[in-house]
Structure 1
Amino acid sequence: MCSIGLSEGLLYNLIKSKREAGILKTPKTITVLIILYVLGIVVRVTTPSGFPFRSASILVFSTAVLYWALSIKERITHCRQRRLLIGIAAMILLLHALQFVRYDFAPDASAASRYLWYLYYVPMIIAPVLGIWASVQIGKPDDEKIQKGWLALAVPAVLLIIAALTNDFHEKMFTFAPHFTDWDDHYTRGGVYILVAIWCYTLPVVGLVIALLKCSVAYSKRRTPLPVLIVVTGFVLMLVFHGSTSGGRKIFGTEILTFQMIWNIMHVCFWESIIMIGLIPSNNDYLSVFENSSVRAQILDVDGNAVVSASGAREVPADIRKRTGTFTAVYNDTSKLFGKRIEGGYIYWQEDIRELIRINDELEEAGKRLLEENTLLAQENELRAQQARIETYSRLYDEIASAVRNESTSLKELIGRAERLEGDDLREAVCNMAVLTAYIKRYANLMLLKQNDPLVPVQDLHLAIKESLEYARLSGVLGDVAVITKDDLSRIEAVSHKYAAEDILAAYALFEEVLEKGYGITAALMVWIETGGALGLRMELSRRDSADENDWLRLENGVREYAIRTGDYRLLTMDIPDKGTVVIHSFFTDDKAFGKGES
């Protein structure tokens, strides 16, 4: 037992030295395994039977498995696969330990030796199950659990183990002579043994198939014959050695290998080949990656001595070493030093901030330019807004000028003629100019209201007509305007009633046309604005004594021509109830179009 501990210690120191040197690679692992296996065969062939153990070669084979298990612990990054592979290695070591105890410590042909033989089948039944579980984990994330269907393989495995360990009671696995006489040389294999053999031979094949089906990388696919060759070779050798009840086959008169040794080699080499072709990721050459990394980092031991340094890493200042916790220190204006306490020492890494400083300067300069550009854009937007307002008002003023062009022309002519008039003629011209001026002002005001709101209150039409009538009174035309409603609305509600601005403008234009056509022949003009339904305008004119019927007819014809020319009315009726009166009734919003108004 002391020799086993010594071998483990030497092997651990070997792995540690190789890891520190950065040469623990998969090919190196294969080389070491081959050397150890060959050494085990040599020891088996050359060691005398009495030195100092009968099974000294088993220690060498166990050392190979232990070396492989420790390398798996260092190399395999997938947690579940690492545990399963280490479990397989543990089963192989258990098998060799049982062999060692049986051949070197248990009496020959004893019950203890027989039960140790039965115990061989515990690791031989469990190892294929662990292999299946490791195969199904290929390509899966570390936190994904094995499916329950695969975990169910543990049930038949336990049943087979129980059947093997209780063979003395039923002898369904091995049948012996009465009283177990000469049992180790004379026995026959039963049905349970066949089931165990099928289990031990079939499950590795299933694991191989699962692993190959999960192979999707071209590099790995080209190398899939390697694990296949290992499994086939192992099965052939195990079948060759399977028939020997003494535990081995003699080649050239010497027992080179046992069935259990071949089983050891096949499992280790199979899983190592799976790692080599990349189906199971491993962390080979991590130290080389660290040393050649562009990250300028250093790992220091607890005494502050550099253990590993990346290329280009600066020496850590003495006043910063052994600083606890995570920290940031500034070397100078161009670099920063970061550090963190880790198990067994410290890690420091340096970051060149010159590029960061350059980027910050560029960002600051870009920010200034953006601020200037934003200021210019804001000014441009303000200019565009002002220009849009100017264009809007210019267009509106052009529309107003076009709408009152006739009145403006008449006003201009009156102004030119007034310079040559005197007395009553001048007074009449001034009164007429006042009426035209009031109309132009009020009409422009209504158009400005239209610009802000498509609906205009009746009150604005009422005020416009009222002002025009006040100026008409200067020339002797008596008149007034009132708002009437068909519904039960108050006066405030009636004047607040809104209609489309186009209809309000059309009503005011018709009123002005009647006022101008009747100028000089009208003694009185009464206007009613009808609301509560369709917008209506009712005007009743009284003739002056100086006017005759022909003047009245000219007024009527002129209004009709205007209505036909403009088309701004919905319904126009004119009536002359007597020789001195004209009634004009117009609706600017019929019942169907009344939806344009609202109250």
Structure 2
Amino acid sequence: MLTIRLISPSEKRLQGIVYVSNYIVISILLLMWIMSIQRRIILPKTRALFLCIGILFLYWSFARTMRYTVFYGDIPAMILVWYSYYFPIILIPLFGFYVSVSMDKSEHYNLPTTLKLLLIPAFALIALVFTNNRHSLMFVINRYDMVIREYKYGIIYYVIAFWVSSLILLTLHILFEKCMLKTRNDKIVLPFIIIIFGVIYTVFYNSNHNHFIVKVLDLNTAFTFFYVAFWEACIYHGLIQSNTLYREFFTYSKQDTSIIDYQGNVRYCSSPLTSPDRKTIDDLILNRTYILKNKRQYNIQSISGGYVIWQEEMSEVIKMLGKLSVINEELKNDISLIQTRMELQSKKVAFEERIRIYDLINTKTKKQINSIKHDILTISNRESNDGEENIDLWKKINFTAIYVKRCSNMILISQDKEQNAPQNFEIHFYETINNLRENGVSCTINNTIDSDISFETVLNIYELIYNFIEPVFFDINQLYIYLSSSKDNYFVKFISDVNAGKLIDLNYFSNLSYNIDTDDDLFIMKVNFNRR
């Protein structure tokens, strides 16, 4: 059972002054430390963790002050503020543990998910503390008034004590392990001495409640001081990356570098013998660009509070530039020759491609062109050019010429391997269909192919249609063409009023799969070929 006498009303004003004064001093120091951390710590995630620690310390001090000033005498409010102490008590060691894990890591390092999950039990413990009035697992309060406060600790209190001590020990273990692995034993001495003094003071505080030092420096203030001092010792010895070790950094630097303030005064310099003179510094600040001087290049870059100037030896670079200028002239001649060869090669390739296309067109239309020549020759050999037979031949020549034109057009388009035919590709056949209609043939085409199809396939379909119509050109009166497809095949179905089976060249269709049927004086032929 723990029994503590609260301050009497007569002591309230003096005690309030002490708490407010203590809070103001601690808050100012903590705010200065937080701003200093934000300026000094390099890694953004470590900087954020220290910011959280600083804010939690500020809240802890604020809560203690409010408890014994503003809320003094309001027992329920004092109890609730007392519970809120454990918000920073539980989270500060956890964030400190996160800082120790992040030591010596890159700026892109992220804490493992398993460690982030530690926030769940942390907030669960906080919730148990704030709900103590319902279950009394944290504190079993027998009496709490303005004279006597009697309570004993519950199981949650010891769980929290284990939580805090375990995280602090893990933090020290990680710190010790990293120092041992990198043979930096001397840098771990000061942080451990601070921890030892903190433990000693905690024992002294709990065993001497009425001592003068205990009344002046309460445990909250002492813990804040020792915890901040511990991390400052780590920063001082370089265990946490900061930007305050310029002088030590320049001691080991082989780069001629200087850091100057806005007035041009040199603050840090890696080598005083090679430090730029005042005129060079003024020119660099004025122009904000590099300067070449005595075979050395001086560069400048703005930083917080001033500028950094670094030098680069350019003598080897100047020699190399001289050699490169000679090589450059030689390369210009070689490049000119290479460009000429490439242009000739490009023209040759274009010419060969043009010949290939012409040969392809000739192969596809040679038979039809010869047929046109033969029909024209036949007409010219006849005595009269106005006979009915000549008119029929001119109609056939026109029909064949349309095929040659459309076929050549589709061959040219099909050379673009990335371009597919539109879904209404049957428009390429309309000129032939319209020609048949002008010659008295009732012709209809219906396309139900709704998938992508190459122009090469469209050309094959068009060639198939031509080879069906051409032999029956003078005999057909009605023709229906139906285009469809399945997963693996394309289908072209012809329905005509003429028995085309006796007239068409079946040798052409022998390489394709087809079937022929007749129905009520109609001739039906269905041709299918593989999509591939």
Q: TM-score, normalised by structure 1?
A: 0.44
Q: TM-score, normalised by structure 2?
A: 0.49
